[in-house]
Amino acid sequence: MNELTIDAPTGVPQVTMRREVDAPRELVFRAFTEPDLLKQWLGPRRLTMKIDRFEARDGGRWRYLHREEDGTEYGFHGVFHGDPTPDQMVQTFEFEGAPGHVSLDSARLEERDGRTTIHMNSVFQSVEARDAMVASGMADGVREGFEQLDELLGRLATVG
């Protein structure tokens, strides 16, 4: 029920994600826009999140780092477009390891019966960039190919 749905349609430089949470949307909105809350959930547990700046307003900048235990850091930054609201949070997103690959991310929170569905949408500059940065493996058609390859690679690995 709280399953994460990721959709990366073939031929379109876009990824959509959907996830339901058991909380009213005002609270979810705070978790998305207050840095002290954001760093408590965004990213895998093994990574430490450090927020350089997070100005959740029209034209505000954000930058954060995810740090591995071995000290390796991954930096991300972007700019907010429009004052974020539960109906619309729009920002650019750039991974500092792949400069120039900027995506336009928007999120929308939809509440029903005290539960909230989080809708996220990322648009990349090309299908290739989308596939490289995100989940082409989830896309129709591509997925089958990957499952097939995955299986066969597993077999190869056991052969040596």
Partner 1 sequence: MPVTQRERSLDEVFGALADPTRRAILVRLTHGEATVNELARPFTISQPAVSRHLKVLEQAGLISRSRRATARLSRLEPEPLRDALTWLVSHREFWEESYERLDELLAALQDEPDAPTTDTDGRSTS
Given the rule CB under 8 A, which residues bind partner 1?
2, 4, 6, 17, 19, 21-23, 27-28, 30-31, 34-37, 39-45, 48-52, 74, 95-99, 101, 127-129, 131-132, 134-138, 141-142, 145-146, 148-150, 152-153, 155-157
Closer by beta carbon to partner 1, 92 or else 146: 146
Give the span between the Cα atoms of 124 and 93, in whole angstroms: 10
Closer by beta carbon to partner 1, 32 or else 80: 32
Closer by beta carbon to partner 1, 43 or else 60: 43
| Shortest reach from residue 81's CB to partner 1, in Å | 22
| Shortest reach from residue 110's CB to partner 1, in Å | 15
| Shortest reach from residue 57's CB to partner 1, in Å | 18
Contact 151, 132 (CB under 8 A): no
What the block records as the tokens of 63 is 């930058």
Closer by beta carbon to partner 1, 99 or else 113: 99
| Shortest reach from residue 60's CB to partner 1, in Å | 16
Torsion of Cα atoms, 88 then 76 then 7 then 28, to 10°: -40
